[in-house]
Amino acid sequence: MKVTIDGKDVELQEEKTILKVAEEMGIEIPTLCHHDGLSLYGSCRLCIVEITNNGNTEIDTACTRAVEDGMEIKTATEKLNEERKLIAELLLAQAPESEMLKESLSALGVQESRFESREDSDCIVCGRCIRACKEEVGSGAISFVGRGYKTKVDTPFSINSDVCIGCTACAEICPTGAIKVEDEEATRYIRYFNTELELAECTECGKYINPKRMIEKLKQEDFAYYPEENFELCIECRRNKEMNKFADKFLAAE
C-alpha cells in the first residue's frame, strides 16, 4: 500500500490511521480527544486533513481514518489551518478558563475565542474520561448525558456513583483539567461527578491511601508475584517492607 502525505511517499505493510502514519513520518497533526491507549473517536476535529483518492477530495479526521492505497493527504493547507482555528475557538468557548487547553491550542495561534461561553466548567466533551473509565478501568462510572449543546459528562442521574473506584484515571487523562480530585481526611472527593469515596488506611502506619473500593478491585485482578497485603500499604511502608526482605535475604546468604 502506497500513500502520499504532504508530498512525501510512504509504503505500508499494514493498515494504520492517517494520524499514526503521519506521526511515524515526523509530521505533527494537532489532537485533543485522541489517546493511543483508547478507542478511536474523532470528536474534537482538530486533526482534520485533506484526502484525495480516486479523483475525490474530502476532509476527514486523521485519528479515525485508515489509510488506503493511492491516497494523497495534506495536513496543513491554508484551508485546514483556518478551519482548525475556528474549531479551536469553539473549544475554547467551552472552557475559557482552562490554562491546559490554552497551552494545547497555542500552536494554532488561538488564545481567546470570539464566541460567547455558555459553560460553567472546563469540559469540552471530548470523551477521553469516559473511554478511559470504561475501556481501561472497566468501571463505566461516567457517560454522556443530555443532548445538543447541553451534553455533558456525568454519573447516571448526577448522583454519587456506586461503581466509581476513585482511581483518578478520568482526571489524569482530561486534556483541560476539568476534573479535580481532592483527598480530605478519610474521603476522596471527585466533585465534578458528585462522588465521594472512603479512603483505606495503611495497615502499618495508619496513613490514608487509596479508596477502599479501588483496593478491592485491584485484589480481584491477577497481579502475578504481587502480595495481596501490599495493596493495603502506603508507598513508604511498601518500600520499607521490600527493603527489609531484601536485607534479610542478603544477610541470610552470608
Helices (H), the chain: 18-24, 78-94, 99-105, 128-131, 169-173, 212-220, 235-253
- % pLDDT > 70, the chain: 95
What mean pLDDT is predicted for residues 200-215?
Answer: 96
The tens digit of pLDDT for each residue in 219-246 reads 888 776 678 888 999 999 999 988 887 7
Question: What domains lie within the chain, and their CATH numbers?
Answer: 1-121 (3.10.20.740), 128-247 (no CATH)
Q: Is 113 helix (H, G, I), strand (E, B) or coil?
A: coil
pLDDT of residue 120: 74
What's the pLDDT band for 144 if we cut at 50, 70, 90?
very high
The tens digit of pLDDT for each residue in 166-180 reads 999 999 999 999 999
The tens digit of pLDDT for each residue in 40-75 reads 999 999 999 999 999 999 999 999 999 999 999 999
Q: Contact, 165 vs 139, CB < 8 A? A: yes
